Amino acid sequence: MRESLPFQTEAQKLLRLVIHSLYSHRDVFLRELISNASDALDKRRFAALTNNAISSSDELGMWLKVDKEARTLTLSDNGIGMTRQEAVDNLGTIAKSGTEEFQKALAAQGGSGDLGLIGQFGVGFYASFMVADNVTVLTRKAGEDTATRWMSDGENGYTVEDASRSEAGTDITLHLKAADHDAGIDDFCDQHVLETLIKKHSDFVAYPIRMMWETSEPALDKEGKMIPGALPEITHEECILNSQKALWLRPESEITEDEYKEFYRHVSHDWGNPLHWLTTSMEGTMEARALLFIPERAQFDLFHRESAQRGLRLYIERVLIKEDCRELLPDYLRFVRGVVDAEGLSLNVSRELVQDDRQLRTIRKHLEKKILDGLKALRNKDREKYNKFWHEFGPAMKEALLSGIGDTSKILDLLVCKSTKEASTTLEEYIGRMKGDQEIIYAMAAPTAELAGKSPALEGFKAADIEVLLLDDRIDEVWLQQVLEFNGKEIRSAASETPPKSDAKSEQDETKDNETYKELLSKLRVALQDEVKDVRLSQRLVSSPACLVTDKGDLTPQMEMLMRQSGQAVPKIKRILEINPGHTILQRLSARPEGDVINYARGLYGQALLAGGGEIVDPVAMAEVMTALMGEALTQ
């Protein structure tokens, strides 16, 4: 039965984006087809180990076939193949689609054709339509008798029909567009072009990529002299185009940067570059080698619990056992990509068994340590690159600071952020700049570092010349509340701490202030009893008349919001209004009769709320207060 089906909407959008915006990268299509074939071969090999119905007696590999007349290029593999339904699901839809991120990322693209981002959606196969008018996929799943033919021009949906294929595997046939050098379309019928591409992108692929190689020799006579006018002799010989050397088994010194980059794309299915990579090996009771990559960009679904691709490829003696082996990394390092090749684990280990294998836990511990050490080394060697890393993945790393998940001191050591004095600092560097008597590391969290830096709560710290770290990830609020320690110094939120007393203000002055403002404070407390927990004199304000602070142990407004967003019922938390005894507004206000204070109290509260990044619940009431105050001021 033949069916015509449309592409899923997101798939169609992405397909268009791939076809119309990636002109300069058309040749990636071959790399993508080979990667898919290699994955299918890995799956076949694994299936044969665990399922008697699937044999792997044939030599597993790929074949490239060119038909110059018909202008077709076919890549065949004898891998796992697809059922009809799988062909529909895998080739007509995007697995990671339907998410808001997808739509947002696509909109943000604006057609600029950013390879790194587009590649993340798992669209390798669609790259074929950059070089072909039509693509036909003939595929038969291992263990099944029927095959399926899938055909599309990339524009008007696709058709699927039953077909036959002599054995399990997949042929992908591209009806090539005419070569056009100006448009970046090479002649992909040319064996030299194909050879160069394979050497460049897919040399390390573990299966042989074979092709009939055509050699043309001039016709020679018996004496070995060219026969004038005779046609050259054409011979064909099957050859293997790739060296098939697993990259992680080769000595590091022999591997070029480009080879690492290509391999990264192969294992990650990302079209971008890795930011950094490291190799490590374990010896002793447990032997394993790993090649790990940190991507240049955070995966768009890094914080998407369900759909995030995570984990490393687990090989046992070169056989792929599991593609996304989550058990090999702690969750906060889920952005790391790469391979682990272990020796001595049972080859028949089933996927379920892999899950609670003690040996895997040993490897995980080793990898976690190596990654953290590697990151520290990167930070010390190339701060700019490291800052990029932290910008992308810091929010995930900080998950390890939440109680009991990770080694907090190691993660805190890796933290970099802005501060009131530096564009980028580590905690160690901060401690190095601390004044003699400063015992605490102060940090301020807000939606952006700029907002954090402008918070009135920092005025006193600035006046006392005390540096404050400016944190801007949502998660910072959460771990900051736990008052963690780094190198023996507590880290506390500047939003609920008073700066250490500056010498300028003597205790005598303070007692005097308390006397002066005693009455005003109680008037304000009455006026704002529904809004705030308390009103008190501030030791942190210099230029602002008032600010709101969170009482120790209470949820901060950002935390409150986060918890509400995650569906938790949180009671309204009242904060403390601090007023600045040195400010003229307050000096004048204390001389006013009680009845006058109400509107000023509301005004002070409102502006303190706004200055701290909060929202006014009843803007109309606030506008009325402002109007009344202006009215009063103008009649005087």
- Binding residues (CB under 6 A) for ligand ADP: these are 32, 36-37, 40, 77, 79-82, 90-91, 122-125, 170, 269
CA-CA-CA-CA torsion sign (428, 433, 439, 440): negative
Separation CA 10–CA 27 (nearest Å): 23
The candidate with the shortest Cα–Cα distance to 200, out of 214, 181, 186, 180, is 186
Question: Which residues 6+ apart lie within 8 Å of 68 measured at CB?
Answer: 189
How far apart are CB 93 and ligand ADP at their closest, in Å? 9
Q: Tell me the closest approach of the beta carbon of residue 66 to ligand ADP, in angstroms.
A: 18
DSSP 231: P
Indicate the residue type of 139: T
Other CB atoms within 10 A of residue 515 CB = 9
User: Considering the complex, what minimum distance in angstroms separates the CB of residue 79 from ligand ADP?
Assistant: 5
Looking at beta carbons only, is 47 or 66 nearer to ligand ADP? 47
590: tokens are: 């204390």
Listed in sequence order, the residues at least 6 apart from 63 whose beta carbon sits closer than 8 Å to its beta carbon are 74, 75, 76, 77, 209, 210, 211
Residue with smaller CB distance to ligand ADP, 76 or 408:
76
Helix (H, G, I), strand (E, B) or coil at 65: strand
Nearer to ligand ADP, 124 or 460 (CB): 124
- Six token digits for residue 497: 């701490």
558: which residues sit within 8 A by CB, 6+ positions away? 445, 446, 447, 474, 477
CB of 344 to ligand ADP, least distance (A): 30
Q: Looking at beta carbons only, is 263 or 486 nearer to ligand ADP? A: 263
Shorter beta-carbon distance to ligand ADP: residue 206 or 417: 206
Q: How far is CA 454 from the centre of its chain?
A: 29
Q: Whose Cβ is closer to ligand ADP: residue 77's or residue 531's?
A: 77
How far is 332 from 371, CA to CA, in rounded Å?
Answer: 12
DSSP character for 326?
Answer: G
| Shorter beta-carbon distance to ligand ADP: residue 320 or 360 | 320
Angle, CA 152 vertex, CA 146 and CA 155 arms, to 5°:
155
Which is it for strands 62-67 and 209-217: parallel, antiparallel or unpaired?
A: parallel
Judged by beta carbon, residue 37 or residue 417, the one nearer ligand ADP is 37
CB of 165 to ligand ADP, least distance (A): 12
The CB-of-271 to ligand ADP minimum distance in angstroms stands at 10
Nearest approach, Cβ of 37 to ligand ADP (angstroms)?
4
CB of 210 to ligand ADP, least distance (A): 15
Which residue is closest to ligand ADP by CB? 124
Label residues 430-441 b or e (16+ Cβ within 10 Å = b). beeeeeeebebb
Question: Cβ of residue 56: shortest distance to ligand ADP, in angstroms?
Answer: 15
Q: Which is nearer to ligand ADP, 61 or 499 (CB)?
A: 61
Sign, Cα dihedral of 73, 76, 80, 81: positive
User: Which CB, 96 or 523, lies closer to ligand ADP?
Assistant: 96
Closest CA to 48 of 77, 75, 78, 76: 78
Smallest distance from the beta carbon of 269 to ligand ADP, in angstroms?
Answer: 4
* CB neighbours of residue 631 within 10 Å: 10
